[in-house]
Amino acid sequence: MALVNINLHSTPRSRIILLFGALIAAAALTGLLALASGSVPVPLREVLGIMVESAPGVNAQIVLELRLPRVISGFAVGGMLALAGVLMQILLRNPLAEPYILGVSGGASVFALLAISIGLAGIWLTLGACFGALLTMFMVFVCSGSSAGWNPLRVLLTGVVIAAGWGAVISFLLAVSPAARLHNMLFWLMGDLSFSQSGGWYYLLLLLALLPAMYYARALNVLAGGDLQAAALGVSVNRVRVITYFLASILTATAVIQAGSIGFIGLIVPHGMRLLIGADNRLLMPASVLAGGILLVFADMLARALLAPRQLPVGVLTALIGVPVFLLLLRSAGARQRS
Amino acid sequence: MLVVEQLSVQVGQTLVCREFDLNLGAGEHWGMLGGNGVGKTTLLHTLAGLRQPLGGRIMLDDKDLQDYRRQRLARKIGVLFQHSQDTFPATVMETVLTGRFPYQSFWPGRGRTDLTLADAALAQLHLASLRERQVDTLSGGERRRLAIATLLLQEPELWLLDEPTNHLDYHYQIQVLDLLSQRVRDRNGSLLMVLHDVNLISRYCTHAILMPGEGKLLCGEVAAVINRTNLENLYRHPIRALSDDGRNYYFPA
């Protein structure tokens, strides 16, 4: 019954149930569609059959071994990016904030590209990206900390400057790398799920991040009204900030390691969900995780199917889908408010 | 209720107070007056435990402010800030409910009692019809009343108000100050407010703190400290006084 009382005021209960129902249904449907489509189309009915009883055959192999891991990791990555986006926007108190704004993806990219440029692949790529992401996380944390506590603007500026630095290194690496490796590097930069391995651990990580995020959701609601106001209302502002920073950074780092830098999800999904369900983070965060997952799986499906057998970078498609959808939402929300 | 001992506060190069003692008793209403930039807001924030003092200590109900847990403290001390911030869209109802934060546990969320309290507070401040409006579409005065409604939901014992009448018209200035002082009396709490209007202070306060600057503070009962000479020293500006109904009214010459 506890759920019933949540946010009774601004978003009616029926709307909450409807929205989450729709998101879950959309997630299942998108997953199935993504399993069915690609360079070798598999009929939906057959996909369902394969999922229920793992029959042998080429199609079963394609669905279970090639597409399923990709759908699974795509959903997790999308969810992580969207959640990281929500957290970053509150942390930096800036509606333009997104997961990559503090340079975590830049740092990861530099070391992943280094790995690619010297011909390494697989686990080395992951390790490189991981190192770069962690390095950036600590650099920003150390450089932006001060005795006066954590100032969002200072963190933002530090992060943006470090991100710009990484950007320059990336350009340098691209300029000096042999042409044969450029294609791989560019794909990595644009965000691509084909590198990602299947594995349950990032769902575990997503869950492990979502739990504390939900725990602090009410505090984050209050924090949106300003640090002093939040402190006066009983929030331990610095603790909540540091925890939020590390949650958002770890989520971003994991997503980047899985799939390179996939743009727009972390910016657009949180705002879109805010328009649909309101600003209460207890609803916004789970809704964003679902919507981010759906958007990325859908975009990845199109990336594989549109020009099959060629694959497009999924980051291009998240933007191509995300931008018009977001503009529509913004328009309809504006119309609702005027009426 | 609030006992301040040997408090020294400094902000940048400005000395706000030095070894300042104050005893804020239950039922007392204090007004704080001072020129621009003497540190009224800084002192208010320090008393709320939002800022570390340079020296001295602040005791609330015989316990040092530092020893309180943040959430516990928020049930005792409520602050009305000079400005309110909003970056993300939020409705009036969402905003006013944040005032209940100190009383909420993790999961049960905003229960029906909270909603009832919120509706009552919104009605008292004539905001009921704006319940579902986005905060960024409100006027300055409406936002001010929203911040006050939020503070009413917090139900503190010690009320620290930073220019509560900002943006309010005459009618609402009086209505809001009546409402706030009634609440403070109901809870047998105390109130300390920064105001630039001497006449409102003499109307609503029992005591006053005058801050002429350079760390000097003049405290006492309103009748003892608010007079023409003190005000002229305070503002470094000639002041005129008028009497009506046995009360003195001051205004700049």
Question: What is the structure's pLDDT at A1?
Answer: 26
CB A47 within 8 A of CB A32: yes
**Spatial CB neighbours of A170, under 8 Å, sequence gap ≥ 6:** A106, A109, A110, A113, A189
For residue B84, list chain A residues with Cβ-Cβ distance below 8 A. 225-226, 229
What share of residues in chain A are helix, strand, coil (percent, to 5)? 80, 0, 20
Question: What is the structure's pLDDT at A318?
Answer: 87
Mean pLDDT of chain A: 85
User: What is the rounded CA–CA span in Å between residue B95 and residue B154?
Assistant: 12
Band (A338; pLDDT cuts 50, 70, 90): low
For residue B137, list chain A residues with Cβ-Cβ distance below 8 A. 337
**Spatial CB neighbours of A205, under 8 Å, sequence gap ≥ 6:** A80, A250, A251, A254
Question: What is the structure's pLDDT at A189?
Answer: 83
Decide: helix, strand or coil at residue B18.
Answer: strand
Min Cα separation A289/chain B (Å): 19
The series of mean pLDDT values per 10 residues for chain B, 253 residues long, is 94 91 94 94 95 93 92 95 81 90 71 84 95 90 95 96 95 96 94 95 96 92 94 93 89 90
Question: What is the structure's pLDDT at A11?
Answer: 66
Q: A224 and B108 in contact by Cβ < 8 A? A: no
Using CA atoms, how far residue B130 sits from A8, A332, B111, in Å, is 16, 21, 21
Please name the amino acid found at residue A110: V
Band (A213; pLDDT cuts 50, 70, 90): very high
- How many A×B Cβ pairs under 8 Å? 102
For residue A9, list chain B residues with Cβ-Cβ distance below 8 A. 91, 93-94, 97, 110, 115, 118, 131
CB B77 within 8 A of CB B158: yes
**pTM exceeds 0.90 for this model:** no
B88 → closest Cβ in A5, A232, A274? A274
Lowest-confidence pick of A55-69, A174-188, A290-304, B92-106: A55-69
* A148 at B interface, C-beta within 8 A: no
Q: B101 and A218 in contact by Cβ < 8 A? A: yes
Whose CA is closest to A319, among A275, A271, A265? A265
Prediction ipTM score: 0.91
User: What is the rounded CA–CA span in Å between residue A48 and residue B165?
Assistant: 66
pLDDT in tens, A227-286: 899 999 999 998 999 899 999 999 998 888 888 888 889 999 999 998 888 888 989 999
A150: alpha, beta or left, given left = phi > 0 and alpha = psi -120 to 50? Answer: beta
Q: A232 and B50 in contact by Cβ < 8 A? A: yes
* A282 at B interface, C-beta within 8 A: yes
DSSP state for residue A198 in the 8-state scheme? P
- Residue B246 sits at the vertex; the CA angle it makes with B240 and B250, to the nearest 5 degrees, is 20
For residue A337, list chain B residues with Cβ-Cβ distance below 8 A. 134, 137
**Spatial CB neighbours of B132, under 8 Å, sequence gap ≥ 6:** A10, B91, B92, B93
Q: B109 and A5 in contact by Cβ < 8 A? A: yes
CB B31 within 8 A of CB B222: yes
CB A235 within 8 A of CB A219: yes
CB A225 within 8 A of CB B84: yes
Decide: helix, strand or coil at residue B251.
Answer: strand
**Spatial CB neighbours of A331, under 8 Å, sequence gap ≥ 6:** none
